[in-house]
Structure 1
């Protein structure tokens, strides 16, 4: 089952989405044409005035690395997508730029007066790596409003209790223990350990919270000392130190120790952006919020698997869900490139310069193309993201890997560069 197809009339006004079969018939009869490939949208060759529009709901499950999006028509989920963010890539790029600038300032150059006291941050400022997550979510909601008759937005407004994650045993005057404390720690561990047993890697089995360093030998209840284990592994380990239990599996031992000391970056990113996402969406359509506990309850009650777009479909007041699709659109944020005009080596010295011309033979890096090579050593059909060169010899990043040396003469544009790459 594929996603429903979005439809706009000749005046570019959104109308009711149709099934892939119906869209195929409209295209074959010449009543419509392809308007966008991602998300797939067709445009009718006539105006629609009498059709009764069915209001749609966009549901969002925001996350640090992935954001799930679902479009529902009543109880029917007709479209789904998962957006992969690039917040950590942005952070690394900014750190690289900072190191280059600091190295320049430390050289024996002319004196330049410090400017850091002149810079002020506006109210509500958040770092670019976090603001990227907010703006990407806003961008895709705006696109869906253009392609479909969206009436309202539901968003999960989740909050991780960082203090309880680090020190679950805290209580009394230091911190008033709430009803959700146990749920939040367990939910965090499920996300951290991939919803599988830490020792045998079994999935879809009841999991128990297990102490890596046993409590009987001085271990604490801190989240860095907790993992998940199935009942069999938990009983087999008992109160043994993890080093003794995994003596014959050094690679697994190393992996568990490194994973146990993971920082809470993802949880803090969600906490920092949750209010900002709701704030920017309020200016588009009516927005309703729901809790993470409600989403999990709906998904378990309806016996649905754990996926980002399915979590999004379970956000809010849900009595029943019918998944009309099982093939969500995978969206990866690639950005629009860099504005840096001069590339440098690790010492900060210039090694290459960026050309001012970015479009060559009608193509630019980031375009999605289809290349049908009819002669030469690389005869075949290739579909993927383009790496453009002024020589006219391009590279295409396909699912199987990068294919180099494809002439522009064999390339046909499918989707122009928009900062994202797509797959199913």
Structure 2
């Protein structure tokens, strides 16, 4: 994984290898500027030549992939760093629901009165729910941070997961990609999203899925996306040219698989018929955050390139690259070859900066405990990245991760492999102060993938 480099005046230079960074530190020519992502600052250099760097972004509802790559003029990309940015939208939504419930209770239980907000307040144009706005703000915060640490010259974003024009009218002609190498990828990506990556008939997960015509072609069924679904190989072979209702009523193998997955034929048939009628505007709801992020990224002034999820998947399968959020970000857009992609991925988890609330509450809103008033204990505070070297005892060893402080001085450390409790502050050393994120490295294993009619 590449190391970020700053010059004497904290201006970004080209990232270097780990070996070169180690030599610069050993010879006293550089100092550690930041641990996560690892950045060094040179003592004896100002300015220097840089090469084109592109930041790839693959937005997601829970995790956003980020990839920093060096580009060449002949369409080659060289991966320098990979990042998985884990959002905390679910935590924000739960906290706001709890706050609303407490306020509602105070209004209705003769407690401290809180007047309800006016019903005629209007939301500004482009308003997003706080749990969704958090995702846009977090990605933009890291884009700005990477811009301060590296000389980024361009940004690539997966703007939409699928092309709705292709889905609404698959027979349309005159568009290059529809008859080219991307034929079918947009439809597959849309079906995977619509059917939850499971067999529509028996509900089986984690199995290769095949595109299935609900009304068979032999019965004048069309290729429109409203007539397509995903099924496992067994269901696809068993249904053959049967009508949907007859297949669910007569096939014993299907009923056996449904029972194993906790479904019944009647409820599953109703689900399939209801899902088929869902309009294409669901695709716009899936892409709402991506358009807000696109508008925010344009404010950086950097050249923007966008792509669809179908093209991303095509690139990944063409180059036999495993599916991860970060590697999807590296495969966004048009390019020829991706080099050096098997590097560790730095997982960045948004944790927040704590809460002003100093009272723990029951589910009914009554106090059940009080938190300490001071943030720091023995020079540490919750959220700091620490390294603890324990010489003896059951917890002997080196533990690195995010610390949660206690008033007693016995801390908990959230490591990559789980939480380690009861570590004395005497064994801890701060590696990076709290910035609202937790960090850990994960390895990328080389896997083989293929492109064909099977959809994964």
CA distance in 2, matches of 1:222, 1:246: 24
Pairwise CA distance, 1:62: 1.2
1:344 aligns with 2:347: no
Secondary structure of 2:377's counterpart equals coil
Residue of structure 1 aligned with 2:248, choices 241, 252, 269: 241
Residue 229 (structure 1) aligns with? 232
Q: State the secondary structure of the residue aligned to 2:85.
A: strand
Q: Deviations over 1:198-222 (max 9, x none)?
A: 647445xxx3124899999xxxx99
SS at match of 1:330: strand
What per-residue deviation string (whole Å, max 9, x for no partner) do you get for residues 302-324 of structure 1?
33332222221222231222135
Measure how far apart 1:352 and its partner are: 2.2
Q: Determine if contact 1:60/1:70 at 8 Å carries over to the other structure.
A: yes
CA RMSD of aligned residues (A): 4.0
Query: Residue 406 of structure 1: CA displacement?
Result: 0.9
Shift of 1:133: 0.8
Who is 1:277 aligned against? 293
| Among candidates 384, 397, 407, match of residue 401 of structure 2 | 384
Please state how far the C-alpha of 1:364 moved relative to its aligned partner: 1.0
Matches within 5 A, 1:341-380: 341-380=358-397
Query: C-alpha offsets along residues 268-309 of structure 1, whole Å, 9 cap, x if unaligned?
Result: 664221221122222223242323133333333333332222
Shift of 1:226: 3.9
Corresponding position of 1:252 = 261
- For residues 210 and 368 of structure 1, the distance between their equivalents in structure 2, rounded to whole angstroms, comes to 50
The residue aligned with 2:221 is: none
Q: 1:399 aligns with which of 416, 419, 444?
A: 416
> Per-residue deviation at 1:361?
0.9
Q: Secondary structure at the match of 1:291?
A: strand
Partner Cα distance (1:224, 1:403) in 2: 52
Q: Which residue of 1 aligns with 2:453?
A: none
Contact 1:82–1:308 (8 Å) recurs in 2: yes
**1:58-117 deviation line (CA, Å, top 9, x unaligned):** 111112122111111112121111112121221122112111211111112466544324
Matched position secondary structure for 2:261? helix
Distance 1:52 1:110 in 2: 64
Q: Following TM superposition, by how much is the alpha carbon of 1:30 offset from its aligned partner in structure 2, in angstroms? A: 2.1
Q: Whole-Å Cα distance in 2 between the matches of residues 298 and 143 of structure 1?
A: 28
- Secondary structure at 1:47 match in 2: coil
Partner of 1:116, secondary structure, is coil
**1:129 is the counterpart of 2:126:** no
Q: Structure 1 residue 46 and structure 2 residue 44: aligned? A: yes
Deviation at 1:132, TM superposition (A): 0.8
Match of 1:305 in 2: 322
For residue 57 of structure 1, report the CA deviation from its aligned partner.
1.2
Q: Deviations over 1:212-239 (max 9, x none)?
A: 99999xxxx9989943323x55214655
Q: Distance in 1 between matches of 2:8 and 2:426?
A: 32
Q: 1:212 to 1:409 in 2, by over 3 A?
A: farther
TM-score between both structures, scaled by the size of structure 2: 0.77
Aligned to 1:286: 302
SS across alignment from 1:54: coil
Number of residue pairs the alignment of both structures matches: 409
Matched, 1:31 2:29: yes
**Does the alignment pair 1:76 with 2:74?**
no
- Pairwise CA distance, 1:119: 4.0
TM-score relative to the length of structure 1: 0.82
Instruction: Give distance in 2, aligned partners of 1:314 and 1:328.
Output: 15
- For residues 404 and 295 of structure 2, the distance between their equivalents in structure 1, rounded to whole angstroms, comes to 37
Name the CA distance, whole Å, in 2 between partners of 1:392 and 1:378: 16
* Contact 1:281–1:287 (CA under 8 A) maintained in structure 2: no
Partners of 2:390 and 2:271 in 1: how far apart? 46
Pairwise CA distance, 1:353:
2.8
For 2:100 and 2:305, the matched residues in 1 are separated by 38
State whether residues 213 and 227 of structure 2, in contact with CA within 8 Å, keep that contact through their aligned partners in structure 1: no
| Cα distance in 1 for residues equivalent to 2:216 and 2:419 | 48
Is the counterpart of residue 10 in structure 1 residue 45 in structure 2?
no
Given the alignment of the two structures, is residue 295 of structure 1 paired with residue 295 of structure 2, yes or no?
Answer: no
Distance across 2 between alignment mates of 1:399 and 1:17: 26
How big is the shift at 1:39? Answer: 0.9
Structure 2 Cα separation of the partners of residues 376 and 149 of structure 1: 47
Q: Distance in 2 between matches of 1:113 and 1:395?
A: 41
Q: Which residue in the other structure is 2:449 paired with?
A: none
Structure 1 position 20 matched with structure 2 position 11: no
Residue matched to 1:174: none
Per-residue displacement from partner, 1:119-146 (whole Å, max 9, x unpaired)? 4433321111110110111011111111
Deviation at 1:54, TM superposition (A): 1.4
